[in-house]
Structure 1
Amino acid sequence: MSYSIAAHPDRLLPAEPGVREIARSLYNRVAGLPIISPHGHVDAVTIEENLPFPDPAALLVTPDHYVTRLIHAGGIAMEKLGLGGQTSDSREIWRSFSAAWPQFEGTASGYWLRQEFEHVFGLHEEPTEENADRIYDMISAKLGEPGFRPRELFKEFNIEVLATTDDPLDSLDSHAALAADPAFAGRVLPTFRPDQYLNIAHPAWQDNVERLMAAGSGAAGYTGYIEALESRRRHFVQHGGVSADHGVRTPATLKLDPSDAGRLFERARAGKATPEDCEAFEAHMIYQMARMSVEDGLVMTLHPGSYRNHHGPTFEAFGADTGHDIPFAVNYTEAIRPLLQDFGTAKDFHLVLFTLDETVFSRELAPLAGFYPSVYIGAPWWFLDAPDAMLRFRSAVTETAGFSRSSGFIDDTRAFCSIPARHDTSRRIEAAFLARLVAEHRISEERAHELIVDIVDASPRRVFKL
């Protein structure tokens, strides 16, 4: 039987027939399990209001910096892709994407998009310059169907839990509405994301802190700031939140005396903080976030290692999250030690450590997770959430930390329609890795079947306290 690339039942499974047969059996064991997505960036309003998705370009091209960055690298100006609030014709954006489609061969983005075209939109042909308008019209027609609204797709995708990423001062009204709606069976959970309130180098930090403290207890200074953060975390817990996420430049942590932290805080509010002050204060606040997680139970996730807005002119013209965030090497062992000295063995504290530096997986994260009860290894993220990188991750961490110390798959996506493709990919990769261990007589096939269920389903529930 002939299949398209995206429809082949053995896609991503091992090429050797005997190993592939084992992997196929393992994949089939978990293919139908519900999707647990404990970290992502889909807006809860999208699910609550259940409005139709926008046009094809606004859904699949413009908001996806994986896509726009590669088109831009091929010579297409950013303003022609609708970025930075620029008004661009959606059909023209789609034509640029279709012309650039060959550039996506071999990339994770190309794989996700192929899966979406085939399994979500029912398309069985590749985008080209010649068929761009026809495919645009086909997707547009699909977007207009009643069954293609976010809530209907939530059910069709078999999503059980979907975590969003939210500003500390968000009212979380959409989350409350979904939780109270008897017609909606899924769970949409908020995630506390305080980066712009912790990083005093952020341009909006002073304004954010003033708004934060106005919503707090009324206490002044650094004490009021800390109390306000604690209060907002409680608000998230009351609305079903299970985790607090931190996007930081480095994983540095620092325990400061409250008086020293207070002096740093006041210098920052006065606009007099030095670069060294910024680094010290953020490192101290990550330590404080860990302390708060020990107290309120929110799982703490740490996402360091990205040089944000690498190209200044692009940032000035088009803003953040437009494709020029570039990974750099990080040091976890020394940087995270002050936090782990006090909280690494704290009861019920869960700390999930992510990286964009693959060398860290085997050298630092696996050994840390192999000792500290609090530490879990975050799944491959961002530039690493690709088939080959997922295999490298599993191989790098398992020999030291085993299977139980990893987070389970994290899709970390704004692209709602790519969620099933991403989770399916992870399940296939886990099946491929386990099949090799079975074929090499390193684990039994019976045990592999138990492990893959734990990796796909039990791990994210356990790590994120679901």
Structure 2
Amino acid sequence: MKAFMDKDFLLETETAKKLFHDYAEKTPILDYHCHINPKEIAEDRQFDNITQVWLGGDHYKWRFMRSCGVDEKYITGDASDYEKFCKWAECLGKAIGNPLFHWSHLELQRYFGYTGVLNKNTADEVWNLCNEKLQQPSMSVRNLIKQSNVTLICTTDDPIDSLEWHKKLAADDTFDVKVLPAWRPDKAMNIEKPDYLDYLEKLAAAAGMTEINSFASLKEALKNRMAFFASMGCNVSDHALEYVMYYPASDDELEEIFLKRLNKMVLTKEEELKFKTAFMLFVGKEYHKLDWAMQLHYGCKRDNNTLMFEKLGPDTGYDC
């Protein structure tokens, strides 16, 4: 009988096995888009338990748990880490065929040496095994990265970020994995968001400007921050792009739209898209000058549950 998710999982032909085991498996990973916190890498965090590793910020798992009817208490609420893990284990049996099922079991095999199946009956066994192993020095954040054969990590960073942890990592010669920032300017583009004007104040401060009072001054602030990011080794950008239409507008019209938003007036959908089109054209030209790559998350619908967005904020499992 074939072993559960063995070393040839998904490799159905001899050619596939040869290509993976003789070539791909040993190839170093250049991770140019991830959400690892650079602070955790700089401080080489040691996790207390498997819930912190798996469920601390993984909104894909959160979304699936909600689909299974799990109460929010056990997802982002005040339940204990043990209780949250047990709820995840209970849900996982319903995830067969979903990549979450594969990811979870491959991680249990490769990092914890567990070859069984995680479900509500094995939850205690897996909880104890993982937590005991996580106390070993080999399971710190940096060592997990090294075990994964990762040689480059690009984190996800807002234009206003100080990049202080990237500075510390760049100066630390005890860790030879390159950790670079990636430019994620969604908050500067999302002119329709309620907190947009508050964000402009923070962006102006980060760029050393007294204020951002026009589209032209917004572009200057962004160029200032791009130069700083470039000085820290950044060479990739990253955008969540909800729309796919092209809405051209003149410079005068764009300034009128921006002024309207500064005056706290509601923009039409067309005005919003004209601004976003101009924004993307501007940054695209700047990236070309800097020789940056542009990554696009295309056609995402963000924060589509108003009630839960108001309770939990963005990136909590309500995108689609």
Cα contact 1:253–1:287 (8 A) shared by 2: no
Q: Distance in 2 between matches of 1:215 and 1:98?
A: 43
Given the alignment, which residue of 10, 13, 19 partners 2:11? 13
Structure 2 counterpart of 1:23: 16
Q: Secondary structure at the match of 2:23?
A: helix
Deviations 1:379-433 (A, max 9, x none): xxxxxxxxxxxxxxxxxxxxxxxxxxxxxxxxxxxxxxxxxxxxxxxxxxxxxxx
Cα contact 1:213–1:224 (8 A) shared by 2: no
Cα contact 1:70–1:103 (8 A) shared by 2: no
Structure 2 counterpart of 1:302: 296
Structure 2 counterpart of 1:268: 261
Cα contact 2:247–2:277 (8 A) shared by 1: yes
1:162 CA displacement? 0.8
Deviates more, 1:162-171 or 1:124-133: 124-133
Q: Are positions 1:316 and 2:310 aligned together?
A: yes
Structure 1 counterpart of 2:204: 213
Structure 2 counterpart of 1:143: 134
Structure 1 counterpart of 2:245: 252
Q: Return the TM-score normalized by structure 1.
A: 0.65
Given the alignment, which residue of 179, 203, 227 partners 1:234? 227
Q: Return the TM-score normalized by structure 2.
A: 0.93
1:304 CA displacement? 2.2
Structure 2 counterpart of 1:114: 105
1:105 CA displacement? 0.7
* Counterpart amino acid of residue 49 in structure 2: D
**Pairwise mapping of residues 306-385 of structure 1 onto structure 2 (< 5 A)?**
306-326=300-320
Q: Distance in 2 between matches of 1:188 and 1:3?
A: 40
Deviations 1:125-149 (A, max 9, x none): 2122233223212111111111111
1:118 CA displacement? 0.5
**Pairwise mapping of residues 413-424 of structure 1 onto structure 2 (< 5 A)?**
none
Aligned residues: 316
Q: Secondary structure at the match of 1:261?
A: helix
**Pairwise mapping of residues 64-213 of structure 1 onto structure 2 (< 5 A)?**
64-81=58-75, 83=76, 86-213=77-204
* Counterpart amino acid of residue 12 in structure 1: L
Deviations 1:262-314 (A, max 9, x none): 21111111111313222221121111111111222221122121221222222
1:216 CA displacement? 2.9
* Counterpart amino acid of residue 224 in structure 1: S
Q: Are positions 1:292 and 2:290 aligned together?
A: no
Q: Secondary structure at the match of 2:94?
A: helix
Cα contact 2:257–2:267 (8 A) shared by 1: no
Q: Secondary structure at the match of 2:152?
A: strand
Structure 2 counterpart of 1:42: 36
Cα contact 2:248–2:274 (8 A) shared by 1: no
Q: Distance in 2 between matches of 1:215 and 1:90?
A: 37
1:229 CA displacement? 0.3
Cα contact 1:253–1:284 (8 A) shared by 2: no
Cα contact 2:239–2:297 (8 A) shared by 1: yes
Cα contact 1:62–1:68 (8 A) shared by 2: no
Cα contact 1:44–1:174 (8 A) shared by 2: yes
Q: Distance in 1 between matches of 2:246 and 2:79?
A: 44
Cα contact 1:66–1:323 (8 A) shared by 2: yes
Deviations 1:445-466 (A, max 9, x none): xxxxxxxxxxxxxxxxxxxxxx
Deviates more, 1:252-261 or 1:237-246: 252-261
Q: Secondary structure at the match of 1:127?
A: coil
**Pairwise mapping of residues 274-285 of structure 1 onto structure 2 (< 5 A)?**
274-276=267-269, 277-285=271-279
Q: Distance in 2 between matches of 1:252 and 1:307?
A: 15
Deviations 1:152-171 (A, max 9, x none): 12211111111100011111
Deviates more, 1:144-153 or 1:55-64: 55-64
Q: Secondary structure at the match of 2:256?
A: helix
Q: Secondary structure at the match of 1:307?
A: coil
Q: Are positions 1:33 and 2:27 aligned together?
A: yes
Q: Which structure has greater helix proportion?
A: 1
Deviates more, 1:128-137 or 1:94-103: 128-137
* Counterpart amino acid of residue 9 in structure 2: R
Q: Distance in 2 between matches of 1:156 and 1:203?
A: 42
Deviations 1:194-242 (A, max 9, x none): 1011111122211111221233363753222110100101111110101
RMSD: 1.8
Cα contact 1:51–1:150 (8 A) shared by 2: yes
Q: Distance in 2 between matches of 1:129 and 1:186?
A: 37
Q: Secondary structure at the match of 1:162?
A: strand
Structure 2 counterpart of 1:4: 3
1:254 CA displacement? 4.0
1:178 CA displacement? 1.2
**Pairwise mapping of residues 398-413 of structure 1 onto structure 2 (< 5 A)?**
none
1:4 CA displacement? 3.4
